[in-house]
Amino acid sequence: MLERAAPIGVFDSGVGGLSVLRELQQLLPAEHYLYVADGGHCPYGEKTPEFIRQRMVAVAEFFRAQGAKAMVIACNTATAAAAADLRERYPQWPLVAMEPAVKPAASATRNGRVGVLATTGTLQSARFAALLDRFAVDVTVLTQPCPGLVELIEAGDLRSPALRGVLSGYLQPLLAAGCDTLILGCTHYPFLRPLLAELLPPEVVLIDTGAAVARQAQRLLAQSGLLSEQAAGAVRYWTSGAPAQFAEVLERLGFAPGQVAELPK
């Protein structure tokens, strides 16, 4: 029996899902959150879908053992590889997944050219191909896989010359093609907004899905009668990587200091 007071499990390969957690906390401040980073296996971008599916089942089981009333897959790459599998395994458990915002970008573009920054895994997935077939009908979509970017964000220095250099290289072909709208198709990338504002011409519009995911979580929980009635919520963190490193980056990304535990094997 799922309960209103139970926590929501939020998952990402690393710190990227914190960009979604931020939106969830803003919209649903009365909820308790359990955040799991699979830091020991990050990045997911170049991993096989089979490997990601196995990790996702392990994390979903962990959340369920903790009594989570719902799970948010705050990771585009994990959604592409494993969301369908998890929905099949746990048909009664509210699950929120996410994918690059192709539909809003197709409406936002003024010149019909949209660029997508995402991981190789997301861009190569059947799910992403289906998204393009469905929503990118009258627009040209240019995709840009970004290997290496997630590792640099995980390092926590969003101003490093290395990060600036790698990001500029990935933006270059999209700008050369005249894209006026860019989709941030990986939950790590919203943390790059300040740097992107320096590297992009002001007319380029950036789109990510964090706020939409939070609204979807709110809808699903409301439908299931599971919205929290507590006064205020809290967050607990686990990582399969190094807890001290996660705790440090958490603060560098502007989050309140939190207790970070090692994810049980």
Q: How far is the CB of 229 from ligand DGL (least distance, A)?
A: 31
The residue within the footprint of ligand DGL, chosen from 34, 75, 101, 260 (CB under 6 A), is 75
* CA distances in angstroms from 229 to 28, 51, 60, 93, 185, listed in the order given: 10, 37, 24, 19, 33
Q: Look up residue 58 and give its two tokens.
A: 């392990």
Nearer to ligand DGL, 37 or 106 (CB): 37
φ, ψ of residue 29 in degrees (nearest 5): -70, -15
Helix (H) or strand (E) holding 107: helix 102-108
| x/- track of binding to ligand DGL for residues 189-218 (CB under 6 A) | ------------------------------
* CA distances in angstroms from 43 to 5, 46, 135, 188, 228, listed in the order given: 32, 7, 28, 11, 33
Q: Look up residue 90 and give its two tokens.
A: 């746990």
> By three-state DSSP, how is residue 96 classified?
strand
Q: Look up residue 145 and give its two tokens.
A: 């896989």
Q: Is 186 in the site for ligand DGL (CB under 6 A)?
A: yes
Q: Is 96 in the site for ligand DGL (CB under 6 A)?
A: no
Specify whether the CB–CB gap between 76 and 120 falls below 8 A.
no
- Residue corresponding to tokens 């967050």: 235
φ, ψ of residue 155 in degrees (nearest 5): -70, -20
Residues assigned a catalytic role = 75, 186
Nearer to ligand DGL, 123 or 171 (CB): 123
Q: Is 35 in the site for ligand DGL (CB under 6 A)?
A: no
Q: How far is the CB of 122 from ligand DGL (least distance, A)?
A: 5
Q: How far is the CB of 49 from ligand DGL (least distance, A)?
A: 13
For ligand DGL (CB under 6 A), the number of binding residues is: 17
Q: Is 77 in the site for ligand DGL (CB under 6 A)?
A: yes
The residue within the footprint of ligand DGL, chosen from 7, 43, 115, 145 (CB under 6 A), is 43
Specify whether the CB–CB gap between 117 and 182 falls below 8 A.
yes
Q: How far is the CB of 92 from ligand DGL (least distance, A)?
A: 26
Which range, of 36-44, 175-183, 199-207, 244-252, touches ligand DGL by CB under 6 A?
36-44
> What is the gyration radius of the CA atoms in the chain, in angstroms?
18
Which range, of 43-51, 60-68, 108-116, 131-139, touches ligand DGL by CB under 6 A?
43-51
- Residue corresponding to tokens 């592409």: 80
Site for ligand DGL in 5-34 (CB under 6 A): 12-14, 16
Nearer to ligand DGL, 28 or 75 (CB): 75
Task: Enumerate binding residues for ligand DGL (CB under 6 A).
Answer: 12-14, 16, 42-45, 75-77, 119, 122, 150, 186-188
